[in-house]
Amino acid sequence: MRLRPFVDPLPIPRVLQPLERRKDKTYYEVRMKEFFHQFHSQLPPTRVWGYEGQLPGPTIEVEEGECTHVLWMNDLPEKHFLPIDRTLHGSGHNMPEVRTVVHLHGASVEPESDGYPDAWYTNNFGKCGPRFSQKIYKYPNKQRPAMLWYHDHAVGITRLNVYAGLVGLYIIRNEEERSLNLPSGVYEIPLVIQDKSFNDDGSLFYPSTVDVQDPPPDFPDVSITPGFAGNTITVNGKAWPYLEVEQRKYRFRILNGSNERFYRMKLDSGQQFIQIGSDGGLLQRPVRTDEIVIAPSERCDLVIDFSDQDVGTNITLLNTARTPFDFGNEPDPFTDGESCSSG
Ligand SMILES: [Cu+2]
């Protein structure tokens, strides 16, 4: 089925409220769940996994230096709904199918709160593996304001769990950044970009058979897929959404949450982006640029000025990167060549 682009409005992930905010500690609880999510109004609801039953998960917003504790709870089913590649390290038949551990990407933390791949835990159904289903992680947030992201990191199935929807944003702020008067509130828009592919019944597609044409005879255990790029670009959990904007400046905080797809983004209006930040926070000074390349896991912080645009103008955010980057297939202008539109 060919999905019509730009029919669904861009959703904005809600900001998660802590259960407790004290002087010395802020405490959050986040539950990983299976649920059904509609990626496009032409698609039926799709089985996904997400934090707090949302895709992307709720955004966690903290102040620089605010000591934050998060209880990450695994409430997922016993079986994975995506095909597990048993040839990958850490993903053998002796392992519980559903393993999770949360990594806050870009955060400076103690090792026991890092969420390294072998620190996984199960939902406690399994007979093997550690007998617990939750962990408290501590985030000191002693770093510059920046947009980080949290995502699953379990050994051998990280790519499946992230593709299933275990993704969310984490924003560190401070007074100094607020004093810069950057577009904020409804004028600060997070964009979580992920590529997906759908089966005809609306379920998520992920390769389950070896896509190497002639597996070497002496190496029969070849991995199912070295990498996977979906043909449908979703932003904040919607396929090709649109955003209505006013004639003013907006701040866009972009995460590439795709498995292997890079994006080379530009605006079809020929406008420039004003890049103000990247993974680690604000740049020393703003940079004007015609296009932005963003690799998986990278973030970029952009200002786009719509004040010179006429009312009713449609502007499309285009992607021109080849996949695999930057020698594979050219993007199809009707599918992975566009990500969202504003007008
Ligand atoms: Cu990461």
Confidence of residue 4 (pLDDT cuts 50, 70, 90): very high
Please tell me the distance between residue 115's alpha carbon and the centre of ligand 1 in angstroms.
Answer: 10
Ligand 1: centre distance to CA 29 (Å): 20
Cα(207) to centroid(ligand 1), Å: 22
Average pLDDT, the chain: 93
Q: What is the CA radius of gyration of the chain?
A: 20
What is the whole-number distance in angstroms between the Cα of residue 336 and the centre of ligand 1? 23
- Give the pLDDT band of residue 130 (cuts 50, 70, 90): very low
pLDDT given for residue 219 in this prediction: 59
The encoded tokens of residue 141 equal 């947030």
The pLDDT assigned to 218 comes to 61
Report d(CA 40, CA 44) in Å as an integer. 8
pLDDT in tens, 150-160: 999 999 999 99
Q: Using one digit for the tens of pLDDT, what is the confidence trace for 273-295?
A: 999 999 999 999 999 999 999 99
pTM of the shown model: 0.94
What is the CA(151)–ligand 1 centre distance, in A? 7
Token duo for residue 106: 């870009």
Q: Comparing 62 with 336, which gets the higher pLDDT?
A: 62
Q: Which amino acid is at 285?
A: R
Buried b (16+ CB within 10 A) or exposed e, 271-305: ebbbbbbbbebbeeeeeeeeebbbebebbbbbbbe
- Give the whole-angstrom CA distance, residue 49 versus residue 160: 10
CA 66 to chain centroid, in Å, comes to 24
Q: What tokens does 41 get? A: 């109004």
Rounded to the nearest angstrom, the distance between the alpha carbon of 244 and the centre of ligand 1 is: 31
31 Cα to the center of ligand 1, angstroms: 19
Q: Which tens digit of pLDDT belongs to each residue from 19-44?
A: 999 999 999 999 999 999 999 999 99
Spatial CA neighbour of 247 closest among 308, 304, 189, 317: 308
Tokens 């389950």: give the residue.
208
- Give the C-alpha separation, 245 to 243, whole Å: 6
Residue 142 Cα to ligand 1 middle (Å) = 19
Evaluate if residue 71 carries a pLDDT over 50. Answer: yes
- What residues have a C-beta under 5 A from ligand 1, the ion? 105, 297
CATH 2.60.40.420 fits 185-342, yes or no: yes
Residue 63 confidence class, pLDDT cut points 50, 70, 90 = very high
Residue 212: pLDDT band (50, 70, 90) is low
Q: Which residue has the tokens 């007998």?
A: 131
CA of 168 from ligand 1 middle (Å) equals 11
Return residue ranges of the chain for CATH 2.60.40.420.
Answer: 20-178, 185-342
Res. 211 pLDDT band, cuts 50 70 90: low
The predicted structure's pLDDT at residue 224: 81
Query: Which pLDDT tens digit goes with each residue over 235-258?
Result: 999 999 999 999 999 999 999 999
Distance from the CA of 217 to the center of ligand 1, in angstroms?
35
Q: Between these two residues, 6 and 216, which has the higher pLDDT value?
A: 6
From ligand 1's centre to the CA of 117, what distance in Å? 10
DSSP conformational letter for 297 = T
- 338 CA to middle of ligand 1, Å? 24
Q: 147 C-alpha to center of ligand 1: Å?
A: 13
DSSP characters over 118-169: GG-B--S--SSS-S--EEEEEE---S-SEEEEEEE--TTTHHHHHHHT-EEE
Q: Residue 210 has what pLDDT?
A: 73
Q: Which residue has the higher pLDDT, 205 or 125?
A: 205
Q: What is the DSSP letter of 14?
A: P
Architecture field, domain 20-178: Sandwich (2.60)
Q: For the residues 196-223, what does the mean pLDDT come to?
A: 79
Instruction: State in Å: Cα 153 to ligand 1 middle.
Output: 7
Of the candidates 11, 102, 16, the one whose C-alpha atom is nearest the C-alpha of residue 58 is 16
Of the chain, the end-to-end C-alpha distance in Å amounts to 26
